[in-house]
A = this chain, B = another copy of it.
Amino acid sequence: MSSDFGKNLKVSIFGQSHSAAIGAVIDGLPAGYAVDEEALQAFVDRRRAKDVLSTARREADKVNIVSGLFEGKTCGAPLALFLENNDVRSSDYDELRVRPRPSHADYTSYVKYGARDHRGGGHFSGRLTAALCAAGGIALQILEQFGISVGAHVLRIGKVTDLPFDPVKVGKADFCYPTDFPALSAEAAEKMKAEILTAKSECDSVGGIVECAATGVPAGLGEPMFGGVENALAANLFGIPAVRGVEFGNGFAAATLRGSENNDAFYYDGDTVKTVTNNAGGVNGGISNGMPVLFRVAFKPTASIFRPQETVDLEKKENVSLLIRGRHDPCIAVRAVPVTEGVAGLTILDLLLGAGKDTLNRRGD
């Protein structure tokens, strides 16, 4: 498969929904940075299924770090971590071995791998995002030591929208929520919960949009064309199951605007060059410009819904009706919030490490 990413910071994700464990190896971490394991656990717990809004499968999600740390700090060696799988009910998936769920990877994994692990979606399960989240949490802790903060919230669930980040003023203070739901507005949070519970009560699911910002990102990260900030973030964010779109700054809305409306004027704020607006989402020509990096990620509604659906039997080669068993989230966008932050953190740390070499690029100044 291809469950690895990164250039300077290389992440490899392993595990299946029902394997003994899932986990990650992070190669390329800079040495000498503190890792707070308690804070890491708290971060991973933000993703953990724990209430009526999430799946009934309950995993402790205890993060075990087995290498890469020395006296509480990164030591430059690859950091490996794993989380056990305990609450598995594999028999729920027997039928799905040859009867693929609509809009899930059951069919394409059958075509491609044949002998894949179908239980719980195998390696295609959202369960894998626990490992991704844990890896991301480490990157985020290191970024904080560089003065870079990353935060996200649910901007939309179905028809309900949250307040957006202010593209220019967004800061670390915005990266917390007034309630136990990851929305900036307490009112929106209540409406979003209701939207999810309604879908759940109707044996259905609902989609959402996550908005994410990174502040403190220095100007100069990323490279032109295929090594830009957007390329790297988009490539990695599409690695989170259920992502259907990624946009930066004004994003798709920029298509409807004039240049005079969309351009961000430069000005000096003391010695620092800033932009008056931030329609670009902090990136010009693939390279960060020092303003907040801002993007949005669209998540589709969970494919696994508890209604009869039409599908095929791949052995009998006939059309059949399917009623899914198993335990599934009615809205994955909610638990995807820390995962999005984590992937953003890993990507930005990778870019930051890559930018180290640019100190050599300035001889000609």
Contacts and interface: CB of A to CB of B under 8 A. Distances in A.
Given A268-B312, A268-B317, A255 B299 contact: yes
B14 A260 contact: no
Contact of A102 (B71, B80, B145, B263): B263
Interface stretch (A43-51, A106-114, A173-181): A106-114
B364 A271 contact: no
A10 interface: yes
A88 interface: no
B32 A365 contact: yes
A133 to B, nearest CB: 14
Interface residues of A, number: 161
B276 A310 contact: yes
B204 A258 contact: yes
Nearest to A108: B287
The 4 closest A-B pairs by CB, nearest first: A32-B364, A105-B285, A2-B227, A115-B364
Contact of A78 (B1, B68, B256, B265): B1
A131 B160 CA distance: 44
Number of identical monomers bound together in the oligomeric complex? 4
B259 A305 contact: yes
A209 B252 contact: yes
A340 interface: no
A31 B115 contact: yes
Contact of A206 (B68, B74, B258, B283): B258
A181 B124 CA distance: 42
B225 A260 contact: no
A134 interface: no
A344 interface: no
Contacts of A261: 301
A289 B2 CA distance: 18
A254 B359 CA distance: 38
Contact of A302 (B2, B79, B259): B259
A358 interface: yes
Contacts of A103: 259, 262-264, 279-280, 284
A357 B219 CA distance: 16
Given A68-B14, A102-B264, A235-B231, A259 B205 contact: yes
Interface string A317-337: 111000000000000010000
A251 B298 contact: yes
A207 B255 contact: yes
B298 A364 contact: no
Interface string A240-272: 010111111111101111111111111110010
Interface stretch (A21-29, A55-63, A163-171, A182-190): A21-29
A275 to B, nearest CB: 7
